[in-house]
């Protein structure tokens, strides 16, 4: 079974703190993704990566950065946390396909509260 793990299920941080969310997958997937999920808005893509050290902006990258130094690990960084970044953060991974799209496998999520 594909396993995607996230470093924390719940996190509480203060405004202005630098926050690191870690994601690890064990299926040798090329693609990794970070989403945030908010009520009524569904899942919105923050960043994704299709290879080590590669990253692409998603729909809402402002206020976030990412790091992918190893294939299995994809980190989301909130440089200076703000209250409007309180949300559920979901990590996902998938195989890379040129002419086909594969399903994404998701981690359990990190519920981040910024006070």
Binding site for other proteins (CB under 8 A): 31, 33, 40-45, 48, 50, 56, 58, 88, 90, 92, 94, 96-109
Question: What are the residues whose beta carbons fall under 8 Å from the beta carbon of 48, sequence distance 6 or more?
Answer: 31, 32, 33, 34, 55, 56, 58
Smallest gap, in angstroms, from Cβ of residue 30 to other proteins?
Answer: 9
* DSSP-assigned states of every residue in 56-72: EE-S--TTEEEEEEETT
| CA gap 37, 111 in Å, rounded | 10
| CA gap 16, 107 in Å, rounded | 26
Smallest gap, in angstroms, from Cβ of residue 93 to other proteins?
Answer: 10
Smallest gap, in angstroms, from Cβ of residue 94 to other proteins?
Answer: 6
């Amino acid at each position: 079974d594909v396993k995607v793990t996230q470093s924390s299920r719940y996190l509480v941080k203060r405004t202005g703190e630098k926050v690191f969310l870690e994601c690890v997958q064990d299926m040798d997937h090329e693609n990794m993704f970070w989403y945030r999920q908010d009520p009524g808005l569904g899942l919105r893509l923050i960043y994704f990566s299709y290879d080590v050290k590669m990253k692409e902006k998603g729909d809402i990258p402002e206020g976030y950065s990412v790091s992918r130094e190893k294939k299995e690990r994809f980190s989301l960084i909130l440089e200076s946390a703000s209250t409007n970044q309180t949300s559920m953060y979901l990590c996902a991974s998938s195989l890379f396909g040129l002419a086909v799209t594969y399903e994404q496998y998701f981690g359990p999520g990190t519920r981040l509260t910024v006070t």
